[in-house]
Chains A and B, each alone.
With several copies, the nearest count.
Chain A
Amino acid sequence: MIGAALAIARVKLVLELRRREVVFAMLLFVAATIVIVHFALRADDGAGPRAAAGMLWAAVVFTAVLGLLRAFAAEAEEGALDALLLAPVDRAAIWLGSALAQFGFLVVVEVVAVPLWWLLFFQEEGPAPLPVIAALLLANVGIALVGTLAAGLALGARTRDVLLPVLVLPLAIPLVLAGVTATYGAFGEEGGGFGPLGPLGFLALYDLIFLALAWGTSEHLLGD
């Protein structure tokens, strides 16, 4: 099960990242995104940590959507999904493999983007790195889980369940909220609550809940 999921994840990551220039392209992409958001918001007057945190998370979400749009693109091309469905592995493994690939993709982008973001915004004093990294990782898990579920639902849908995948996307909003709050906290700013859990605890809880939900439903996810 885990083995199969890993094999699938590996293939999907290889497909996306095989060419070295992809990483380079992502670097350019993130830089361009940050600059554009900068211009759009006219953040010239010392926008400070708020703008910085906002831009990071906006870029993360946008990249995630971009990635999710392609979640099952390779399988759709030549009907490779049939082969996966007929292989002696659980459907949960297919979904998990895709989610892992999605997670890996996000991590790769962030490994490039976050240092860049740091460099761009904090020449002197930045936020504490650990909470930011933790928030990003937890949010990646959540986005990958929920997003892959949505993409899987959208896969077979021609007319009936068109709305289903769309309904799943807003599920990413709590992740961003918690992520931004955690990033604020890392600046020593007032993070604005999330009660006793804290934003990181909230993210972890979110991940657990959706892992359970997605796992339970993944058998019904793909195929007819």
Chain B
Amino acid sequence: MRALGRPSTTVPLILSLILVPLTVVLAFVWTGEDVDQGFSQKIFYLHVPVALTSYAAFGYGAFCAAMYLWRRDPEWDLRSYVGVHSGTIFGTLVLLTGPIWAKASWGVWWNWGDRQINVFLILFLYYCAYFMLRFSLDEGERRRSASAVYALLGVGLIPLSFLAVRIAETLIHPTVFTSSGAAMPSSFFLTFLVGLAGMLSLMALLMAVELRGKRTAMRVLELQRAARGEDA
């Protein structure tokens, strides 16, 4: 179980300390105002990186779930859990920044007509349900494999939902990353990339910290049991 290495916290910590403030500086100082949207477009540098980061985290969670089902090492289960968990944390940020932008740009907090944001909501709910499933099962093998199977199913759900929506109709919610490249000025794009890197390091930091906490808690439990003279 200790076969997997300890994830570093220092590297992501340093990276996020540099990149996140840098994004803010770039966004407000370097890039110009958007012609259509004006100042409110600045939230782009938060909103989109956060959204992509949440996908990355869910993806990581699903990957670890698959590894768990293959290897049956509880460590992979913990990692999968931590991945899904930070995915929902970043997902919550998306659901905060999106509506703020929407209020500024569309005049409403939420547009029920837009499939894309609704689908994101559903995906978010899907992964919320992961926690319900996990915590209504007793700790042990069964909980681990059920959580893993569920996290893995998301791998099918995410692309299918987006496929369904993307090819179904025109959207209000913008799509800038098309097959012909990013439709925006290069300064915007660069800032966005820095923001994305910042968010990804923040995610790595979050996951490393939580993983450590979880491991310590497990260790404490083991020691408590050992102190009671129980071996398992």
Contacts and interface: CB of A to CB of B under 8 A. Distances in A.
Interface of A: 19, 21, 24-25, 28, 31-32, 35, 38-39, 43-47, 120-121, 123, 146, 149-150, 153-154, 156-160, 163, 166-167, 170-171, 173-174, 177-178, 181, 192-195, 197, 202, 205-206, 209-210, 213, 217, 220-221, 223-224
B43 interface: no
Contact of A173 (B113, B122, B133, B153): B122
Given A44-B113, A193-B169, A209-B160, 11 more contacts: A21-B135, A31-B125, A120-B112, A146-B153, A154-B133, A156-B137, A167-B133, A170-B129, A173-B122, A181-B168, A192-B169
A195 to B, nearest CB: 4
B37 to A, nearest CB: 20
A174 B155 contact: no
Given A28-B128, A210-B156, A224-B140, A35 B121 contact: yes
Given A171-B157, A224-B141, A149 B136 contact: no
Interface residues on B, range: 35 or more
A137 B79 CA distance: 38
Contacts, number: 135
Contacts of B109: 123
B160 A194 contact: no
Contacts of A153: 133, 146, 149-150
B133 A123 contact: no
Contacts of A28: 125, 128-129, 132
Contacts of A221: 145-146, 149
B132 A25 contact: yes
A145 to B, nearest CB: 10
A163 B133 contact: yes
B163 to A, nearest CB: 7
Given A153-B133, A153-B150, A181-B168, A170 B122 contact: yes
A217 B121 contact: no
Given A32-B125, A157-B133, A206 B160 contact: yes
A202 B163 contact: yes
A39 B115 contact: yes
A117 to B, nearest CB: 12
B133 A170 contact: no
B108 A123 contact: yes
A214 B142 CA distance: 17
Interface string B100-134: 00000000111011110011011101101101110
Contacts of B119: 173
B71 to A, nearest CB: 12
